[in-house]
Amino acid sequence: MAVAPRTRAVVLGLAQQRWVSRFITRHGLRLGARRFVAGERLEDGLAVVARLNREGIEATLDYLGESVQEEAQARAAAQVYLQVVEAIAERNLRSHISLKPSQLGLDLDRELALELVGAIVARAEARGTFVRLDMEDSSRTQRTLDLFAALRQRWENVGIVIQAALRRSEADLEALARMGANVRLCKGAYLEPPEVAFPRKEDVDANYTKLLRGYLASGNYLAVATHDDRMIEAAKRAAAELGIGRDRFEFQMLYGIRPQAQRRLVAEGYRVRVYVPFGTEWYPYFTRRLAERPANLLFFLANLVRR
């Protein structure tokens, strides 16, 4: 069950308070954040991926960070991603990588982001892996899509994310389908104004099922990113009705959320990929996870009380 929009706003607003961020940043990993974040080092992320692979689950590694303010920070993040690509190949892990364009300089200069992300995609192609551009808040949607289109002109091992909460997403998916894009469809974890995004959960859910069916029907590869059993069943039904093989889509979930459901889907013969984040800049990611679902927030509060 998802958190109501008003509750999400309260949680995210509280997370912006300086004393809250200081406390959670200092103690959060011990108090439960490790359930959702592999750790602060690359080795932590690689160890989680290796364990998931042994369970028949694939992964995508994400080096946490976003909204860099200086070119040097973007270049440093790119170097880490190049290391991630090499580590995946050297250890023969079944893992892609995911990155946030704002961590690679999108807010600073489009050409810088194209240079850095392009270098990562090129290295990933040479090493036989895939790169996914994460979608951030709506202020960056068009710039991220433009960056993806530029990359797609040179490389095929790159994909994009679309958020069902955004009103523009149906039109965006139609354009991406014409490109033959590999898309991850998620609901969206950012607070957006009602003129940009559907404010009611039931409308987001309805749009999600509509969009997933439409993109499956296009014949392009779809990553169904959800923890919602109703959306999972909707994807299964749509694929069966449309005659879409299980090699044309996969289910994606976040590390630490519904691991039993992940194993059950694997046992049923579906491809499952888990998003595995690591790095020191885990606070924004962690607070979005708390705001998404009551179970996540209750888990953290229970650990806080026991401290």
Hunting for tokens 């994009």 — which residue is that? 160
Q: CA-CA distances (angstroms) from residue 162 to 25, 189, 190, 211? A: 29, 12, 13, 10
CA distance 148 to 108: 17
In the annotation, is 184 catalytic? Answer: yes
- Is the CB of residue 254 less than 8 Å from the CB of residue 274? yes
Task: Name the CA dihedral angle for 120, 123, 126, 132, rounded to a multiple of 10 degrees.
Answer: -20
Marked catalytic residue, from 8, 152, 184, 288 = 184
Closest to 33 in 3D by CA, of 281, 229, 262: 281
Copy the structure tokens of residue 157: 């091992």
Report CA torsion sign: 17, 23, 27, 32. Answer: negative
Residue 272 has φ and ψ, to the nearest 5°, of -125, 135
Go through 7-25 and write b for each residue having 16 or more CB atoms within 10 A of its CB, e for each that does not: ebeebbeebeeeeebeebe
In the annotation, is 258 catalytic? Answer: no
- Is the CB of residue 82 less than 8 Å from the CB of residue 120? yes
Go through 231-256 and write b for each residue having 16 or more CB atoms within 10 A of its CB, e for each that does not: bbebbbebbeeeebeeeebbbbbbbb
Report CA torsion sign: 288, 214, 156, 171. Answer: negative
Marked catalytic residue, from 134, 137, 172, 205 = 134
Active site residues: 134, 184
